[in-house]
Structure 1
Amino acid sequence: MTSTERLPAEIRRPEPGSVALVTGGNSGIGLETARQLLAIGVDVWIGARDLEKGRRAAAELGSDARVVQLDVTDPASVADAVRRIAELDILVNNAGVNPGVDDITGTTLEQMRIAYETNVFGLISVTQGFLPHLQRSRHPRIVNVSSGTGSLTWNSSANPQFDWEQTKGGGLAYRSSKTAVNAVTLLAAQALGERIKVNALAPGLRRTNLVAGMSAGGDPAEAARGVLRLALLADDGPTGALWSWDGTRAPW
């Protein structure tokens, strides 16, 4: 596939009874993803580390959203969620943390561990836990919410989406963890074959808790629509790629 390839603009209608899990689904892009999936008829589980926040999110949606306590860094929590959710067609690995914006001169090993425990190891733990569910699905899809700041190509060259001169070398923990997410996406897609579609999304800078304090940021709902494109890919759709929120393929 070329770097100019685009995903279809239209969102494919899900099969009746389709079930999705959105980790970190109680706020930001995760909440908007849950909202949009519900709107087109998907049964949605909101995975929330804080169960009360998850319940408030479900109440805000005013729909049939269900909530499951899910701390992606806690194997027992993941195992409990796997037992509770009997069927799954769509896994959206959205939970993420940003422990700091320092570069190599100031980033601590603890910040690195925090970023990787949630953004990488947690994503792998949840994916492995729910893989048997997905293998039973007729149209299994995995969407890993990554970041354009994890693209090595974009980090090493000019890109109009980001002001690289202001951020060169910064955000070591977060950005390198998202580079790892991109690698996990590619290797998982290669291992799982064409039937289980595994793709990553670069959502762009959004107004979320992840970037609290930053002055810029777009609508999380716009990024959530990018998630839906990947969550409802046709069976002949692509796998093992990083996609921008606007449907264009992004470089690794």
Structure 2
Amino acid sequence: MTTTLITGASRSLGLETTRRLIDAGHTVYAGMRDPSTGDAARALGAHVLQLDVTDTASVESAVAQLPALDVLVNNAGILGTARDVDALDADAMTAVLDTNVVGIVRVTQAALPLLRRSSNPVVVNVASGVGWPRFLSTEGTDEFPILAVPYAASKAAVITLTVQYAKNLPTIRVNASDPGYTATDFNRHTGHQTVTEGTDATVALATLGPDGPTGEFHNRAGRIEF
């Protein structure tokens, strides 16, 4: 049995990833800041855990409740309040980085002892094409119109930390996924992809075997070349 922890699992991409991995036979622990919002995850058969990625004590408590861990999906993230430079200040930047980047480090570091005991350990960091400079700077892409600095910078950092974790952990498959422009609360459901399409890359990477790739960035079409 594959035991999986998903952060930010109460809704949208996290909840759909929970559903799909349960359907694939995983025992899923659904981490979320407020367990009272976890009824949908419970209805799917997930084990709901209180897990706030910005709180080290919360992360350590959640990981301590896991009997084992084979797959970690670092999905939790926030868009932030600064949509352009005029709204940007240091506090807005720090809040996004703390959740989207440092949060991944908190959870991954806490989970490493369990992952190292697994026969097929996998980590998937949910990034975004908004963190990919080529997409941001190419007219006609979904990402080009985005002006927000914190979110884009945080997702660029997620891609880079994924590569570095993969180099440091050669026995663990560590990859980043790009959900693409998916209809979620983040974009007021304006995205042109469904949440199922938006989780294709994450689910594919979460179900890798020991011979799968590591240190890569994938969308639903496959690897995004560096």
The two structures share one fold, judged by TM-score above 0.5: yes
Counterpart residue number, 1:188: 165
Structure 2 matches for 1:37-116, cutoff 5 A? 37-54=21-38, 56-61=39-44, 63=45, 65-116=46-97
Q: Deviations over 1:99-121 (max 9, x none)?
A: 13533343121211111010000
Q: Which has the larger displacement, 132-141 or 231-240? A: 231-240
SS for the counterpart of 2:183 is coil
Specify every segment of 5 or more residues in structure 2 that has no aligned partner in the other structure, as ranges.
none
Dislocated runs of 4+, deviation >6 Å: none
SS for the counterpart of 1:218 is coil
* Contact kept? 1:100, 1:174, Cα under 8 Å: no
Counterpart residue number, 2:9: 25
Q: Deviations over 1:153-205 (max 9, x none)?
A: 222334x54162x33xx110101000010110000001101x20000001011
Counterpart residue number, 1:6: none
Counterpart residue number, 1:231: 206
SS for the counterpart of 2:215 is coil
Quote how far apart the aligned CAs of 1:58 are. 2.4
Structure 2 matches for 1:211-226, cutoff 5 A? 211-212=187-188, 215-226=190-201
Quote how far apart the aligned CAs of 1:32 are. 0.5
Match for 1:242 among 209, 217, 221?
A: 217
Counterpart residue number, 1:4: none
Counterpart residue number, 2:179: 203
Counterpart residue number, 1:162: 142
AA of the residue aligned to 1:40: A
Q: Deviations over 1:8-48 (max 9, x none)?
A: xxxxxxxxx11000100110111001101111211000001
AA of the residue aligned to 1:250: I
For 1:57 and 1:163, the matched residues in 2 are separated by 30
Change (3 A) 1:25 1:163: closer
For 1:187 and 1:239, the matched residues in 2 are separated by 10
**TM-score normalised to structure 1 length:** 0.85
* Contact kept? 1:20, 1:90, Cα under 8 Å: yes
Corresponding pairs, count = 226
Determine which structure has greater relative contact order: mean sequence separation of CA pairs < 8 Å that are 6+ residues apart, divided by chain length.
1
- CA RMSD of the aligned region, Å? 1.5
Q: Does 2:125 match 1:144?
A: yes
* Contact kept? 2:29, 2:47, Cα under 8 Å: yes
Quote how far apart the aligned CAs of 1:237 are. 1.3
SS for the counterpart of 2:176 is strand
Match for 1:131 among 70, 92, 112?
A: 112
Match for 1:176 among 146, 149, 153?
A: 153
Counterpart residue number, 1:12: none
Change (3 A) 1:216 1:229: closer
Specify every segment of 5 or more residues in structure 1 that has no aligned partner in the other structure, as ranges.
1-16
Change (3 A) 1:128 1:163: closer
* Contact kept? 2:184, 2:191, Cα under 8 Å: no
Change (3 A) 1:163 1:139: closer
* Contact kept? 2:17, 2:202, Cα under 8 Å: yes
Identity of aligned residues (%): 38
